[in-house]
Amino acid sequence: MMLMVYLIIIIIMISNILMLLSIMLSKKSFMDREKCSPFECGFDPKSSARIPFSLHFFLITVIFLIFDVEIALIFPIIPIFKLVNFSIWFKINFFFIIILLLGLYHEWNQNMLNWTN
């Protein structure tokens, strides 16, 4: 058991030393003007190439992922219908759908589903 602990400590130490060495020996320059500017055939850029991050778009994608996972959770419920008691199956599904609808109502109430502001 102690051998395993010693091996883990040695591995962590070696990986930390290698990461520290790579940071110290890297020749990256983060403040280089040419690397930070976009390439436009040798000409100076006419406008900023950086598009501001849209928080609203990010929230829409998170909502989509949440509902996508919920649909993946609903799919196994259909084959289980034949294996379990109908009243238990109905109560569980009803509870699950109510939670989904409450989440959707909350997002709608917070104006999260409006694409344009």
Within a domain: residue 12?
no
Name residues of the chain where pLDDT drops below 70.
27-51, 115-117
Q: How much is the pLDDT for 31?
A: 64
- Where b means 16+ CB within 10 Å and e means fewer, 14-24 reads eeeeeeeeeee
In one-letter notation, the amino acid at residue 63 is I
Residue 86 lies in a domain: yes
Residue 76 lies in a domain: yes
> Is 70 a domain residue?
yes
Provide CB contacts within 8 A for 10, sequence distance 6+. Answer: none
**Domain presence at residue 87:** yes
- Whole domain around residue 64: which residue ranges? 55-109
Is the residue at 91 inside a domain?
Answer: yes
pLDDT attached to residue 15 = 95
Number of domains in the chain: 1
Alpha carbon 18 to chain centroid, angstroms: 29
Q: What is the pLDDT of residues 4-33, one digit of tens each?
A: 999 999 999 999 999 999 888 876 656 666
In this structure, is residue 69 part of a structural domain?
A: yes
